[in-house]
Amino acid sequence: MQAGEPAASHSAGRADDRSAQFTDRYSRQILFSPVGVSGQARLAQAHVAIVGVGATGAAVAGLLARAGVGRLTLIDRDFVEPSNLQRQVLFDEADALAALPKAEAARRQIHRFNSEIRVDAHVTDLVPENIHALLHACSLVLDATDNFETRYLLNDYSVEQNKPWIYAGAVGAYAVSMNILPGKTACLACLFPKPPSGPVETCDTAGILGMAVNLAASLEAMEALKFLTGAEHAMRRTLLSHDLWTNERSELRAAATPRADCRVCGPTREFTHLRGEARPHITLCGRNSVQIHEHRRSITFADLARTLEPHGSVRFNELLLRFTRPPFTLTVFPDGRTLVQGTTDVAQARSLYARFLGA
């Protein structure tokens, strides 16, 4: 026997063990013939970005992580609060008590049940300035946001980069989802040339049921699974909506090809949202707050805490700082992005930001 043979044999044995563990872990999914061994292998090599890790995003992330998607990029600007626990399945009371950023809380929880996959957590707002850097490496983008401004930004990016994305949303007992495959289906702007105007129901005004969230997440995750396993032909070509309370269901057939006069995917290719034209402040879903995101600067929490302590209560960790001066709370992130709770008045929010963090 030559030197090196036992070591090689031992190495081969470890590889066999890992292969057996992989097959056993996903055995019930592999038994589903449209996935099979080859589909599971494709999932292991896949990279999906999930934009928004609230109710829908947390559920989608959990489903895809358990399904064995090899890499997830989680992007969320928010933190966990007690009111989230009714429907946001990756978080617990300890996360809410610590006000842990949702992307990081989700990453930690996913690691507990599937440590073999890679999860990148980004505690930030997806904006035109960072969208290319955050999404360029993934092959599929999943929408789990709470506002149409970001959805239209995703649509612009998707068409520009020829990268598929899936729209999903839930409010009240209502869930909706649609697949966008650039060059093969209508884009979001084909069906809805402009974002909704006037009052729009949100979970802050209409409430939300966890059952609707999980339906939206399941619809989105199922379509993602089809795409990632090479079954693009099986993906739905409709805007599907379902009201679980009234049992009303509808499907709006999307065009098989992009609309010829679409401003985004048509000949003019006008990416106004990607250019950041007139990008507004965004009032967040589920709380009385405004986000201040135009001030990009490095924040040292220890120094800021010393400045703020005479004016209210302060607590911070390495991920965020919370300053409370009733009836307002300012949650500050390392890049200076701030959530001002206690108002939906943009002018008042900006005034509070300037007063306590500087103009």
pLDDT, greater one: 72 or 23 = 72
**Band of residue 302 on the pLDDT scale cut at 50, 70, 90:** very high
Q: Taking each helix axis from N to C terminus, what angle separates 102-113 and 55-67, rounded to the nearest 10 degrees?
A: 30
Q: For residue 114, what are the CA distances in angstroms to 71, 100, 101, 224?
A: 11, 20, 20, 19
Domain spans in the chain, listed from the N-terminal domain onward: 22-253, 289-357
**Averaged pLDDT, 68-88:** 94
Domain 289-357 CATH class label? alpha beta
Q: Is 261 helix (H, G, I), strand (E, B) or coil?
A: coil
Q: Hey, what are 230's tokens?
A: 């090479």
pTM of the model: 0.85
Per-residue pLDDT, 120: 98
**Band of residue 350 on the pLDDT scale cut at 50, 70, 90:** confident
Please state which architecture CATH assigns to domain 22-253: 3-Layer(aba) Sandwich (3.40)
Residue 34: pLDDT above 60? yes
Q: Hey, what are 32's tokens?
A: 């589903």
**Band of residue 12 on the pLDDT scale cut at 50, 70, 90:** low
pLDDT in tens, 162-191: 999 999 999 999 999 999 999 899 999 999
Q: How many CB atoms lie within 10 A of CB 201?
A: 13
* DSSP annotation string for 221-256: HHHHHHHHTT-GGGS--EEEEEETTTTEEEEEEPPS
Q: Hey, what are 198's tokens?
A: 């006037």
Per-residue pLDDT, 262: 92
First to last CA, the chain: 75
Minimum mean pLDDT range among 201-210, 244-253, 273-282, 305-314: 273-282
Q: Taking each helix axis from N to C terminus, what angle separates 210-228 and 36-45, rounded to the nearest 10 degrees?
A: 100
pLDDT, greater one: 334 or 7 = 334
22-253 and 289-357: same fold? no
**Residue 297 DSSP class:** -
